[in-house]
Structure 1
C-alpha cells in the first residue's frame, strides 16, 4: 500500500516549501527506525501495525486502507510538529528522496546520531527518580484502562454487527408482509422504512467506532509502549553513569586519581535524557488531552445523531398510523 502525503514547511534546510511524496509502509518503518537510532532521548510516535489492526478484518479492504493511511499521515504530522525531530536529516531524506526503496544516497545517514542500545552493559540501576517512577506507574494504569475500553468496544462492535444482521432481516419481513396485506400495507411499509433508517444509522455508528474510535485507542496503546521504551533507555544511561561513578570514586579513594572525563560525559547524557524525556512527556500529555477531548466529543455527537435519526423515523410512523386510523374510521362511517 502506498500513501501520498503533502507536507508544507518554512525550514531553510528544505529546498521547496511544499512536498508531495508517495511512500510505502516500509518507508515509514525505515524513518521510525532511523529516528529511534539518531534521537534516542526523544519519544518517537508509533506506527500502526503492519498487518493487523483491531476493528478491521480484511487488510485489503477500502476501510483498512483508509484507516492505515490516516494513521501513517498522523505519524508523519506528529514527527513534523516535533521541535527536535522535525530537524532530523532522515525526515528530510524521507520527504525529498525520489526513491527510498533503492536507498540511494541514504547510506551515509545511518551513522547520524548515537544509539544507546545495550549501553548499560553490566551496570544495574539503583533506583529510578521519583518523577520517572510516577511516569511508569501512570503508563501502566493508562494501559490497563485503554485495554479494558478496547475489549469492551470490540465486543460492542461485534454485537452491533450481529444486531444489524438481525435488524435487516426484521425489516425485510415487514416489507414482504406488506405485499400481501392491502389494509395494513402503509403501516407495514412504514415499519420497514423505520427499520431501514435504523439500520443505516447503526451502520454509521459502527463505522465511526471501527474507523475513528478504535484506531485512536490503538495508537495510544502503541504510544505507551514507545514511552516505556524511552524510559528503559533513560534507565540504561543512568545505570551506566552510576556504575562508572562508583568505580571512579573507589579508584580515587585508592590512588587519588581525578574523576575521568567519561564519567562526566555519562552525567551529561543522563541530564540530557531527563530534560528531553520530560519535555516530550509534557508535549505527549497535551496532545493526549486534545485527542481524547476530540474523540469523546465525536462519540457524543455520533450517538446523538444515531438516536435522533431513529427517533425521527419512528415518530413519522406514528403519524402514518394516526392517518390510517382516521381513514378507517371515516370508511366505517360511510
Structure 2
C-alpha cells in the first residue's frame, strides 16, 4: 500500500464561521475546544513552511476507486491548539461501495489517540486475529521533534497503512468500532469512545497476561514454527538495520570529505593555467557526486530505516497475536487440569464411601460422616458436569482461534513478501542510481581529458 500523496499542516487557534470545503462534513476532534480548522485560522510557522514544499491539497480528497469495496486515505495533518494541549489531527477519507454503509464517502478527522483507541478495541473484540501495528508513540527524548515534518509524515504514512490493512481484512473491516471510526461525526464518536466495554472485552483483558505465567503444553507445531520464524526474522532485519545505519554513517563521513574536494580543485585550477580546465572538470565531478550522495544520505530514513522499523513493529504484532492464542489455549488447559482434579477427588470420595462402615467410630467429626460425603459427591458431580461443558466451549474457542490466526498468518506472509521485496528493491535502486550518476560524472571527466588531448595533438 502506497503512502498518501501530499500533506498540509495548519495551525488552528480559534473557530471561525466558514468551513473548509473538504472538511465541512467533519467538524472534528471531540476532545478539543476547537474541533475543526478553518480558512483564515492558519498561522505562519516553521511547521507550515516546511510542509509548503509538498503537493497542493485541492485534489487530495478526490480518492478514485481502484476496484476495492473499501478504500481509505489518511492525509492532511493539522496542528491544533487548545487551552490544555497542542496536538495533530489527520484527515481520514473513505470511499466505499459496500451496502452496509449508508453513504459512499466519508471524511472525518482523528488524532493519534483515536487510532490507539481503535486498535485496543480491535484487540479486545478480536483477540484471535492478527491486528496490524500502529507507529510508535513519541518518546520524552523526542518530544521536541513530535511536530517536525519528518516525524509527522512518517506517522501519517504508517496510519495510512494501518487503516488500509484493516479495510482489506475480510473480518476486521466489518467491526462496529472500525466503521464508527471512519464514519462517525464528532458527537457520535465521543459517545462511541465513552461506551463501556462489554463482558467479553473484560474477560479478554483478564486473560491477556495468562501466557506470561503459564506455558501452553499442547501448542500446535505450526505455531511453534511461526514463533521461531518471527524471532529469526526479527534478528535478521535488526542486523540489516544496524548495518544500514553503519553504512549511512560512513556515507555521511565520506560526504563531508568529498564536499571539501570541489573548492580545493577550483583553487588549484586557478594557479595551474595549463591544467586549469582539467582540474575544474574534476572539481565539477566531485561536486556532482557529493550532490548525489547528499540525496542518498537524506533519503536513507525513508528508503531503509523507517520501513525496517515499521516491519519490525508488524513482527511484534505477530508475536502478540501468538501470545493471545496461547492465552486461549492455556485457559482451556487450566479447565482440563481443574476437571482432572475434580474427577480424582470424586474417585477418592467414592472409594472412601465404599469402605467398611465399621471403621467409622463415634469420634469422627461431622464433616467426615457418610451423609456429608454424599453431599460432597453430589456437588462434585455437578461441578464436573459444568467443567465438561466449559472445557468443550474452551476447546471450540481454541480451535477457532487457531484457524483464524492461520488465515491471518497466510495473509501476512503474502504481504510480507511484497513489502520486503519492495524494501530491498528500493534500497538497491537508490544505490544503483547513485553509482550510475557517479560513473557518468567521471565519464564526463574522461571525455574532457580525451578532447583536450586531441586538441593539444592537433
Please indicate the TM-score interval, normalised by the length of the shorter structure: 0.7 to 0.9
Aligned mates of 1:100, 1:170 — CA distance in 2: 62
Aligned partner of 1:316 in structure 2 is: 444
Aligned partner (choices 101, 106, 117) of residue 30 of structure 1: 117
Aligned partner (choices 218, 224, 232) of residue 133 of structure 1: 224
Question: Would you say the 8 A contact 1:63–1:211 is kept in 2?
Answer: no
Aligned partner of 1:152 in structure 2 is: 243
Aligned mates of 1:89, 1:42 — CA distance in 2: 16
1:285 aligned to 2:413?
yes
Aligned partner of 1:17 in structure 2 is: 104
Which stretches in structure 1 are left out of the alignment for 5+ residues? none
Question: Would you say the 8 A contact 1:197–1:313 is kept in 2?
Answer: yes
Aligned mates of 1:64, 1:199 — CA distance in 2: 26
Alpha carbons of structure 1 residues 19 and 213: separation in structure 2 relative to 1, 3 Å: farther
Following superposition, the deviation at residue 236 of structure 1 comes to: 1.4
Q: Secondary structure, in 3 states, of the residue corresponding to 1:106?
A: helix
Aligned partner of 1:248 in structure 2 is: 339
> What do residues 215-240 of structure 1 show as CA deviations (whole Å, max 9, x unaligned)?
22111211121111111111111111
Aligned mates of 1:2, 1:172 — CA distance in 2: 46
Following superposition, the deviation at residue 125 of structure 1 comes to: 2.9
Specify which structure has the higher proportion of helix.
Answer: 1
Question: Would you say the 8 A contact 2:107–2:183 is kept in 1?
Answer: no
Aligned mates of 1:221, 1:32 — CA distance in 2: 17
Aligned partner (choices 257, 271, 289) of residue 166 of structure 1: 257
Aligned partner of 1:302 in structure 2 is: 430
Greater mean deviation of Cα atoms: 264-273 or 108-117: 108-117
Alpha carbons of structure 1 residues 150 and 83: separation in structure 2 relative to 1, 3 Å: same
Aligned mates of 2:253, 2:286 — CA distance in 1: 15
Aligned mates of 1:187, 1:21 — CA distance in 2: 61
Aligned mates of 2:200, 2:294 — CA distance in 1: 49
Alpha carbons of structure 1 residues 23 and 101: separation in structure 2 relative to 1, 3 Å: farther
Question: Which structure 2 residues correspond to residues 185-224 of structure 1 after superposition, within 5 A?
Answer: 185-224=276-315
> What do residues 88-147 of structure 1 show as CA deviations (whole Å, max 9, x unaligned)?
122112212333898244322744953523324976532422111111111111111111
Alpha carbons of structure 1 residues 113 and 11: separation in structure 2 relative to 1, 3 Å: farther
Structure of higher CA gyration radius: 2
Which stretches in structure 2 are left out of the alignment for 5+ residues? 1-87, 347-376
Question: Which structure 2 residues correspond to residues 173-192 of structure 1 after superposition, within 5 A?
Answer: 173-192=264-283
Q: CA RMSD in A?
A: 2.6
Following superposition, the deviation at residue 46 of structure 1 comes to: 1.0
Number of aligned residue pairs: 326
Question: Which structure 2 residues correspond to residues 67-106 of structure 1 after superposition, within 5 A?
Answer: 67-99=154-186, 103-106=190-193
Aligned mates of 1:116, 1:325 — CA distance in 2: 81
Aligned mates of 1:108, 1:194 — CA distance in 2: 65
Aligned mates of 2:189, 2:169 — CA distance in 1: 27
Following superposition, the deviation at residue 78 of structure 1 comes to: 1.0
TM-score normalized with structure 2 length: 0.65
Q: Secondary structure, in 3 states, of the residue corresponding to 2:186?
A: coil
Aligned mates of 2:199, 2:270 — CA distance in 1: 74
Q: Secondary structure, in 3 states, of the residue corresponding to 2:129?
A: coil
Aligned partner (choices 393, 415, 418) of residue 265 of structure 1: 393
Question: Would you say the 8 A contact 1:124–1:243 is kept in 2?
Answer: no
TM-score normalized with structure 1 length: 0.87
Greater mean deviation of Cα atoms: 103-112 or 32-41: 103-112
Aligned partner (choices 83, 89, 94) of residue 7 of structure 1: 94
Following superposition, the deviation at residue 151 of structure 1 comes to: 0.7
Higher relative contact order, structure no. (Cα contacts within 8 Å, ≥ 6 residues apart) = 1
Q: Secondary structure, in 3 states, of the residue corresponding to 1:188?
A: helix
